[in-house]
Amino acid sequence: MTLPDTLKIELKPRVSLEMVLIPEGRFRIGTRGYSDDEQPLCEVVLSDFYLGVFPVTQSQFAVWRPKHRNGFSGVGRSRHPAETISWFDAVSYCEWLNSTCLSELPSGYRFCLPSECQWEYACRLSVDQSGQRQILETDYYTGDGVAALDAAGWHAGNSESKTHPVGQKAGTSLGLYDLHGNVWEWCRDAWCDDPYFRYDWGEKNPEVRAADVGFSELDAHRVVRGGSWLNPSRDCRAAYRRDRYPDIRSGVQGFRVCACSGPRANQHR
């Protein structure tokens, strides 16, 4: 099956969800020289999947939950990322997409949150005009240092303590935006502080489930990635991981929609 490079999911008139194909490949997740939970580097293999071009915006989220209250709300904020969203909210939004828009996906694909391996792979993957692929080893997809982060995202040093409309900063070569800063993005994975010791070298589509770390589906902390408008540059790196209780809502938390095939697409937990 030949997969389209992009998808445009119509949520309602003039409100759509854009997604881009992240081609299958392998990379070494993690980094050296920072936190223990980012080590050791471990090679993993990812199947094709789609990822939202932007974090879900307020207008996109309002199609499903029109009375949702964002921390940064009001006229002119429809393209700001939706926030004050729990992990359960994000999962329910994906399930709503599956109930209403599944026919717009390739056969066998379903909407879900990305695994943290999918998230980091998408952030690090660079493809040039000839189709040559490279896995970036820099802190941000724009390079290293605060100037590179300024080019890619909104963080504590440039956000003026608020979210900003998506797509205003530089994107990846595949056309993804706001992976660094603006809002934290929920992942499917249950949190553990040693995930890369748990993966087998070369494992395909790994993720950590609640049962793997001895918690129920309702109680397991979940992984967030990417940093936010409130966080310093260190927290917005491609490899940085943080855990949050799944029921907590705050103005720094949003999410990005993924679509993939196989058993992992049918089970968030």
Task: Compute the average pLDDT of residues 163-185.
Answer: 98
- Res. 262 pLDDT band, cuts 50 70 90: confident
Residue 239 in tokens: 């490899």
Give me the mean pLDDT over the 70-98 stretch: 97
Handedness of CA 110, 111, 116, 120 (dihedral sign): positive
* pLDDT single digits (tens) 10-23: 999 999 999 999 99
Write down the pLDDT at residue 1. Answer: 76
What values do phi and psi take at 218, rounded to 5? Answer: -85, -25
Question: Among 112-121, 182-191, 227-236, 256-265, which is the least confidently predicted range?
Answer: 256-265
Look at residue 269 and tell me whether its pLDDT is greater than 80. Answer: no
Total domains, the chain: 1
Specify whether the backbone of 187 is left (phi greater than 0), alpha (psi in -120 to 50) or beta.
beta
H/E stretch holding 203 reads strand 203-204
Rounded Cα–Cα distance for residues 39 and 189 (Å):
17
Can you give the residue range of the structural domain that contains 88? Answer: 6-266
Residues 185, 179: Cα–Cα separation, whole Å: 8
Residue 91 domain-assigned (yes or no):
yes
* Residue-level pLDDT at 55: 98
**52 has pLDDT over 80:** yes
CATH for 156: 3.90.1580.10
Tell me the percentage of the chain whose pLDDT exceeds 90. 94
Report whether pLDDT(265) > 90.
no
Whole-structure pTM value? 0.97
Which has the closest alpha carbon to 87: 121, 113, 57? 113
Query: Residue 268 pLDDT > 60, yes or no?
Result: no
DSSP 3-state of 213: helix
Let me know if residue 1 belongs to a domain: no
Q: What is the mean pLDDT of residues 161-180?
A: 98
Asked if residue 50 is part of any domain, the answer here is yes
Name the 3-class secondary structure at 103. helix
Residue 238 lies in a domain: yes
Does some domain include residue 10?
yes
pLDDT at 50 > cutoff 70: yes
In a domain, 208, yes or no: yes
Whether 35 shows a pLDDT value over 70: the answer reads yes
Question: For residue 32, is pLDDT > 70?
Answer: yes
In angstroms, rounded to a whole number, what is the distance separating the alpha carbons of residues 56 and 11?
12
Q: Measure the N-to-C terminal CA separation of the chain; round to a whole number of Å.
A: 28
Query: Looking at residues 186-206, what average pLDDT do you find?
Result: 97
Mean pLDDT of the residues in the chain: 96
pLDDT of residue 263: 62
Is there a domain that residue 122 lies in?
Answer: yes
184: in domain: yes
